[in-house]
C-alpha cells in the first residue's frame, strides 16, 4: 500500500511517521504486521468529537508537524484540526467527481493547506471543480521500489501451477471490484482461450464486500468449460513473483483509476502492459510507446491487444524497453518521497514562527 510505504520511508530516513486508522481496517492490520507506528482511531463518520480530540491530543503529545489525510472521512477530521493550528495535506487517489454541496467544497478549499494528486488527471479535475488555486496543488504520481520490483526470472512454481508451457499468459492484479474490470478481462480471456489452447489467464486480488464478483467469474469460466485456462487467487504478498511470471500484465479498469500501481511495477520488471484508457493510466502507459491502450469495457479490444503483445515480439520488446527506461528515469521512490517531504516542510513552515523543525508525519486513513 502506498501509504504504508510513505510512512515506512519517513521512519527509515530520520523522521517520525505514524498511521492513524480505524479498528479492523486492512491498513491498520498491515501497520501492526510491519511494526509501523500507528494509532487506532474511529474515523467512520465525518463528525466525531471524541476522535478529533484524540487525534489532537496525539498530535500535540508527539509534536507532529504535518498531517496527511487520504480519504473523504479522514479529510473531515483533518479539517476540524486546522483551527487548532495543525497543518494538513490532503492526498487524492481517485479520479472521481467531487461531491456537490457547500460543506464538501469548504473541506477542500479551507480544510487543508495543500492538495496532493496522485495523477495529473486528478489535479485537473479538482482545479476544474474550483477546489483551490493552482498553487495549492502538486502531482506526485506512482513510484516503484527498485529493490522489490526488478527484472527476475519467472517463478517455476507458478508457471508449473498454471501449466504454462509457452509465452501466452496474461494476468490482472487488483482488488476484485467491479470498476477494476475483471469481468472484461475474463471475457477477453475466453475469446483468446477459444483461439489458443495454451493460453492462461491469472487474476490476483482480495475481495471487496461479499466476494460475489469472484464467485460470478468462477461460474462464468465453468459455464464456458474453460477452467484449465483460468487461475483466480485471493490477496497475495508475492506480487513481484506473479508479475515476473506473466507474459502480459493487464489493467482493465473502467472507473476511478489514477496512474495505477501495477503499471510502474511491471515497467520496472520489464513486463509488457496492456491497459484501458481511463483516468491517469495514459500518463504512464503511453499507447504504442510504453504499452498498449484500449477503450474501457471492451473485451474484444482487450483480447486483440493481448494477442498483439503475445505475437509481435519485436514491437513488444521495444515498448518494454521504453517503459523500463521511463520507470528508472521518472518513477524513483526516493525522489517522490523527497517531493512529498518538501510539501510537509512547506505547510509546517507556514504554520510556525521558526524554520527549524523535524517532520513528524501522521497519515490518517479511514
Q: Are residues 196 and 283 in the same domain?
A: yes
Residue 280 phi, psi dihedral angles, 5° rounding? -95, 5
CA angle, corner 92, sides to 121 and 23, nearest 5?
150
Q: How far apart are CA 116 and CA 3, in angstroms?
A: 13
Query: What's the domain range around 218?
Result: 156-330
150 lies in a domain?
no
43, burial (CB in 10 Å: exposed 0-12, middle 13-18, buried 19+): buried
151 lies in a domain?
no
95 lies in a domain?
yes
Number of domains in the chain: 2
Q: Are strands 249-251 and 200-204 parallel, antiparallel or unpaired?
A: unpaired
- For residues 137 and 112, the answer to whether their CB atoms sit within 8 Å is no
Supply the CATH number for residue 30's domain: 3.40.50.2000
The pLDDT value recorded for residue 167 is 96
- For residues 268 and 150, the answer to whether their CB atoms sit within 8 Å is yes
- For residues 290 and 327, the answer to whether their CB atoms sit within 8 Å is no
- Whose cell is 522489490? That residue is 148
- For residues 118 and 143, the answer to whether their CB atoms sit within 8 Å is no
- Whose cell is 508525519? That residue is 361
Q: How far apart are CA 119 and CA 280, in angstroms?
A: 5
Q: Are residues 48 and 195 in the same domain?
A: no
Q: Angle at which helices 299-311 and 313-330 pack, to 10 degrees?
A: 100
Q: Which of 315, 306, 314 has the alpha carbon at shortest distance from 195?
A: 306
Q: Which of 279, 247, 229, 266 has the alpha carbon at shortest distance from 121?
A: 279
Q: Are residues 102 and 43 in the same domain?
A: yes
Q: Are residues 317 and 338 in the same domain?
A: no
The pLDDT value recorded for residue 208 is 82
Q: Are residues 47 and 118 in the same domain?
A: yes
Q: Per-10-residue mean pLDDT for the chain, 366 residues long?
A: 91 94 90 94 88 94 94 92 95 90 92 96 95 95 92 97 97 95 98 98 90 95 98 94 98 91 97 97 98 98 98 98 97 95 90 48 61
Q: Are residues 192 and 119 in the same domain?
A: no
148 lies in a domain?
no
Q: Are residues 323 and 223 in the same domain?
A: yes
| pLDDT tens for each residue of 149-202 | 999 999 999 999 999 999 999 999 999 999 999 999 999 999 999 999 999 999
47 lies in a domain?
yes
203's enclosing H/E stretch is strand 200-204
Helix, strand or coil, per DSSP, at residue 364: strand
Q: Are residues 57 and 182 in the same domain?
A: no
- For residues 336 and 6, the answer to whether their CB atoms sit within 8 Å is no
In order of 26, 36, 103, 354, the CA distances from 30 in angstroms are 6, 8, 33, 36
Q: Are residues 95 and 126 in the same domain?
A: yes
Q: Which of 74, 13, 85 has the alpha carbon at shortest distance from 347?
A: 85
149 lies in a domain?
no
Residues 6+ apart with CB under 8 A from 341: 10, 15, 359
Q: Are residues 324 and 340 in the same domain?
A: no
Q: Are residues 42 and 139 in the same domain?
A: yes
282 lies in a domain?
yes
171's enclosing H/E stretch is strand 169-173
| pLDDT tens for each residue of 208-254 | 877 899 999 999 999 999 999 999 999 898 999 999 999 999 999 99
For residue 345, the 8-state DSSP code is: H
Q: Are residues 240 and 352 in the same domain?
A: no
CA angle, corner 159, sides to 158 and 162, nearest 5?
85
Amino acid at each position: 500500500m502506498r501509504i504504508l510505504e510513505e510512512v515506512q520511508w519517513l521512519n527509515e530516513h530520520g523522521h517520525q511517521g505514524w498511521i492513524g486508522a480505524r479498528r479492523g481496517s486492512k491498513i491498520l492490520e498491515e501497520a501492526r504486521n510491519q511494526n509501523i507506528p500507528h494509532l487506532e482511531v474511529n474515523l467512520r463518520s465525518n463528525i466525531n468529537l471524541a476522535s478529533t480530540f484524540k487525534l489532537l491530543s496525539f498530535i500535540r503529545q508527539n509534536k507532529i508537524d504535518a498531517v496527511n489525510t487520504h480519504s473523504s472521512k479522514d479529510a473531515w477530521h483533518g479539517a476540524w484540526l486546522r483551527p487548532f493550528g495543525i497543518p494538513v495535506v490532503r492526498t487524492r487517489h481517485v479520479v472521481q467527481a467531487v461531491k456537490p454541496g457547500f460543506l464538501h467544497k469548504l473541506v477542500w478549499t479551507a480544510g487543508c493547506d495543500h492538495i496532493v494528486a496522485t495523477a495529473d488527471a486528478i489535479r485537473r479535475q479538482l482545479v476544474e471543480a474550483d477546489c483551490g488555486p493552482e498553487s495549492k496543488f502538486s502531482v506526485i504520481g506512482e513510484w516503484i521500489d527498485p529493490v522489490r520490483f526488478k527484472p527476475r526470472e519467472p517463478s517455476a512454481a507458478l508457471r508449473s501451477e498454471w501449466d504454462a508451457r509457452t509465452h501466452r499468459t496474461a494476468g490482472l492484479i487488483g482488488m476484485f471490484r467491479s470498476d477494476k474490470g475483471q469481468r472484461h478481462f475474463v471475457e477477453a480471456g475466453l475469446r483468446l482461450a477459444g483461439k489458443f489452447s495454451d493460453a492462461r489467464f491469472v487474476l490476483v486480488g482480495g475481495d471487496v464486500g461479499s466476494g460475489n464478483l469472484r464467485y460470478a467469474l468462477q461460474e462464468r469460466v465453468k459455464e464456458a468449460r474453460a477452467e484449465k485456462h483460468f487461475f483466480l487467487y485471493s490477496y497475495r504478498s508475492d506480487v513481484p513473483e506473479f508479475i515476473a511470471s506473466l507474459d502480459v500484465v493487464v489493467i482493465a479498469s473502467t472507473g476511478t483509476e489514477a496512474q495505477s500501481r501495477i503499471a510502474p511495477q511491471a515497467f520496472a520488471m520489464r513486463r509488457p502492459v496492456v491497459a484501458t484508457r481511463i483516468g491517469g493510466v495514459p500518463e504512464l502507459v503511453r499507447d504504442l510507446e510504453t504499452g498498449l491502450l484500449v477503450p474501457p469495457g471492451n473485451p474484444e479490444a482487450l483480447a486483440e491487444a493481448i494477442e498483439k503483445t503475445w505475437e509481435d515480439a519485436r514491437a513488444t520488446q521495444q515498448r518494454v524497453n521504453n517503459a523500463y527506461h521511463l520507470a528508472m528515469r521518472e518513477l524513483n521512490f526516493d525522489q517522490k518521497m523527497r517531493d512529498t517531504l518538501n510539501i510537509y516542510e512547506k505547510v509546517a513552515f507556514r504554520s510556525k514562527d521558526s524554520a527549524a523543525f523535524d517532520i513528524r508525519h501522521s497519515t490518517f486513513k479511514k
